[in-house]
Chains A and B, each alone.
Chain A
Amino acid sequence: MTEIVLQTTNLSKRFGGIEAVKNLSLEIHSGEIFGFLGPNGAGKTTSINMICGLMAPDSGEVLIHGKSIRGDGGITRRVGVCPQEIILWERLTCFEQLEFIGEMYGLPAKEARRRSDLLLAEMNLEEKRNAQARTLSGGLQRRMNLIMALVHDPEIVILDEPEAGLDPQSRVRVRQFIQSLARRKTVILTTHNMDEADRVADRIAIIDHGELLRMGTPSELKRTIGEGDVVEIRLAGDASQRESALAAAKALIPQADARLDEDLLTVRMLDAVGHLPDLMERIRDSGARAADMRIRENTLEDVFLQLTGRRLRE
């Protein structure tokens, strides 16, 4: 078992009448990529802000290597944070701001300069070394935002929605970069993008309305909602015909998990391909018609849907 680097115990935070985070308890291990998955407003950023010391919790505690971060600036300097919004000094060049923030974290000037050049190279930003941040494109600014969190070589890196607003090219580059950090550093990332979480994270905590709903590896989480594949059928027909189609699907395969979301019938079952002809026939008999159909594997979206009854993007 790897060492626990970061631990939260019953972390809670209220904003007026809204409980943004409720009794969040986590253990994050050294060298893992840990994902916070949840829709916008789920409490991910509030949790992150408490973990990195930007916000004081109403109750609970954050421990890094078993030591509380409360009042200990030295410990939180071992954390690097890439905030969700782009935070750069517009009129400083890429190199200047890396060097400056490195020095603010206590790096000697020479080391700050060395680390700045290294990170610019790693993120393919050498050509923009002497460009002021305000002249960079949105994608390049996001890349800069990311490496600003790393200049002081922190042990724990927190990335809040690192792929938000990225163009495809930058998204690939950032994802590769995050994966390159694995094992060297402990990475905590928040996202509402299930694909990002699935591909990048070793373990995921699903959070909604400030509550931790489930935690585990992506495959563990997907297994919790059942084995097998998912058949998605978009139905044509009126509401009663669609309800009849749902009932027919449930009658055909009682052990399957069947749901109707407006005109989308979702059936999770073992041997989906084998059952498909019968299922289509039953739907036809119910008076509805399949306008579109696909078979796919379970996703984290399904896990979230089962846990909350809502989709991540709703």
Chain B
Amino acid sequence: MNAFRIARKTLMEYLREPQLFLFILSGPPLLVLLWYVIFLPAKDRLGDYLRIQVVNRDSGAEGAALVDMLRAIEFEGKPALDVKVIGAEDQGMISLREAKAGLMLIIPSGFTRALEDARAGIDGEPPAEIEYAGDTASFNYVFAKGYIDPYIRGYIQVQSGLGPPVYGKYKFLPGTGTSADFDAAIPGLLVFSLLFLIISSASSLVQEEMHRTLTRFRLARVSGFDLVAGVGLAQMVLAVMEVTIGFLTAVLLGYGRGTDLLQPMRILLLFGVSVLFAVPVVGLGMITAAFSRNDGDAASLGSILLVPMVFLSGILFPMPAVPLFAIGTRAVGLYDLIPSTLASEAIRKAVTLGDASALVYPVAGLLLETIIIVWIGAALFQKRKLRT
């Protein structure tokens, strides 16, 4: 019962510090907004990612026709490529180095002649070679090359008189429909924004020490569990508010529009996993608070925990599988030991599949990690801050 009273008191304190309260709540919508602004171009034009510079050395008509063909390629009704013809190879190299272009296509001087020879059945010499220049380690290069190669092959096939080309057709994963990068990022963003509760929950506990009010709890013999549970409950209420505001912001910006992402079951699961994830996050906050003496310590130590939780969890980019052992048919990886990995997996499955049964593994793992983290957090806080 004390835990509920402490939670009520903590929330009242937040409400009476409106600037701090709004600052905390504004985190998720700002993240969503930021992501929206970053991916806004991608939603409208794939060409912003597929920037291709062309050096056309061909003196005939086919080189220019190939460029026109590339410019005409569309994805979801919009130009797929940003094609720019440049005069000199050196200029293209500079653009590649500066990442202003993903790929430089060099059309050889004998391109038209080679196609004409092919159509005439002549084995022409020398062969015309199209060059794809770029940084082979660059995602943009690999993506651009993979994307345009079939089109160029198809063009050559037709213009060589070898019959109609075979093009690939894009097919989406079940349940993802035509979801954009923005839609795909939202679940991870919500997990990401909840991670900041590490710092706010640690700060909330540290404030009790800084203002010496922790002494009052000690005098009243309030248990570490009650105190930590109370602050944790208040943080969970904040988590629900944060997720709600973040989610509504995403919906207002177009999340799930025209898809089935907004089905009630999916939303319910998304909120359920978010609230569950808030618990171990608060537990990490307790661990942080146990080693902090002031807000600055809480922010610094909290960030140390936050960074691996973000970067190793697959929230921002996929991590390699590092299997440790298996439970049944499920391999348990190294990064599964981080709660944000499991939360991220659960939340993605929740929104893409909308099927609670698909969440059994990540949610069970998350529950187990939650128990361990909260127990460690409460024990450390009791030992370091409440013991006489």
Contacts and interface: CB of A to CB of B under 8 A. Distances in A.
Contacts of B384: none
A105 B388 contact: no
Contacts of A105: 220
Contact of A77 (B12, B217, B220): B220
B252 interface: no
Contact of B12 (A53, A56, A76, A92): A92
Interface in B330-385: none
Nearest to B16: A91
A42 to B, nearest CB: 21
A176 B318 CA distance: 70
B222 interface: yes
A54 B12 contact: no
Interface string A93-111: 0001000110111000000
Nearest to B2: A104
A54 B255 CA distance: 53
Contacts of A91: 12-13, 16-17
Interface stretch (A81-89, A198-206, A225-233): A81-89
A76 B218 CA distance: 10
B319 to A, nearest CB: 42
A54 B215 contact: yes
Interface residues of B, number: 19
Interface string A42-60: 0000000000111110000
A83 B212 contact: yes
B216 A87 contact: yes
A73 interface: yes
Contacts of B222: 104
Interface in B197-249: 211-213, 215-222
Contacts of B97: none
Given A87-B213, A87-B215, A91-B16, A100 B388 contact: no
B213 A55 contact: no
Given A73-B221, A101-B220, A89 B213 contact: yes
Given A79-B219, A92-B12, 11 more contacts: A54-B388, A73-B221, A76-B219, A81-B219, A83-B215, A87-B215, A88-B213, A90-B211, A91-B16, A96-B9, A103-B2
10 closest A-B pairs (Cβ-Cβ)? A73-B221, A104-B220, A91-B16, A91-B13, A56-B388, A87-B212, A105-B220, A81-B219, A103-B5, A104-B222
8 contacts: A54-B218, A79-B219, A87-B215, A89-B9, A91-B12, A91-B16, A104-B5, A105-B220
